[in-house]
Structure 1
Amino acid sequence: MNYVTNYNIGNGSRTIIASEVNTYTTVQLFIPQHLSKEEEQNPIQVFSQFFETEYPLPKAKIAIEDMALKVAYDIPPLSWNVKEQSIYFIIQFSRLLEAAYLIRNESKICWKVEKISKENMVPKKVLNKGRNLETIFPYLLNSHDPQDCKDPCLNLQAIFFDTPIQELLDTFRTWGKCVSANLKVDKTQLWNSHLDLRIFTIILESSHLIYVRSQNGNDQLPAG
């Protein structure tokens, strides 16, 4: 079956026939496995719990990098003293991935800024300790392009457009098994681990930017 698209361009009007392959896309319903119903409706609270209670951004970055070293080079992670600690991080970061996927299209005004500043990139409690580069550096994005800091939801949309959320969760689950059970991954996972690390880091940092710009509790932070 074909469909017809009319392009009306005056005397040169033409009709294009396209196959139905291009008319339909498969949309898979995503059902979070790690979030409560309340968290599904308000995923920003997952960010708040993660960064305030569980893992400040520098600690989370180190944990993910440790996992990548284990996957790629079989180097034991240094972030955890016992197996249970690694399992706990795996669960919490899986929750963050699901929340990031759910929140990607919300893009509230206060989350997107015209001008990058310390106030919209670094948590207030960190700024209260000091505003020098040594204090705030661990909270800055790894990206070389400062423009990535302006619209974190756009970053998430780009990531999840190219890579399905379930694929990312499956990959991270494989990383988790590698770390918690001290296993070696297959060569395919090993070759992809550097790109996977970058993807996970972008999701982590973008989620942190949304958290920082929402931490006043009323989403009234002015742009810039």
Structure 2
Amino acid sequence: MLSAILPLLLNATLETLYMVSVALAISLLIGGPLGILLATSRRGELYEAPLFQLIAGPVINAARSIPFIILAVAIIPFTRLVAGTSIGTSAAIVPLTVAAVPFLARIVEGAVREVDSGLIEAAQAMGARPWQVVVKVLLPEALPGLIHGITLAAVAMIGYSAMVGAVGGGGLGDLGIRYGYQRFRPDMMIAVVITLIVVVQGVQMLGDWLARKADKRNL
């Protein structure tokens, strides 16, 4: 029995890691700059843009308030437009990315805002341009918090990837639903849950280790 379960678990785990890693990378490329703008665009800040704050803040909050499973179903036409299909691991990347972008934007904003404003003022006093302040001061100083936040996002996305299995997204969630629930196999359901716990624990431990390495206080 175990020999029959292991290949299925391995393939589903690889699908889950593929979905989450690609979606996380894309959402970082979008949500990262968005979060930096949110953290630096208030009045008197590096990229002062009150109109952006007025529009972006509520939109991001609204996007974060939508339950993931509802979001995944609601954007099926958009998923089909982007991925060419609405089922499978590649298609699942679309709703995962859409859900993660506002989440990561707020994480990046929070981490950047925690940087001591005195460091920003010192850099500006030495003639640093706004982009130099961001690249050489804000991001390096916020790095431990960013890593912790990205780890939190990755763990949440693993949970989302399990939910997207309910709409044919593949991965561990799809395996648990098709084999564990629909075929009445509690052994498969238990195996999927244990695998998810192991994957989440591994991601969390890796993130904690990277954050400790990036923290200057530990040097």
Same fold (TM over 0.5): no
More helix by share: 2
More strand by share: 1
Normalised TM-score (structure 1): 0.27
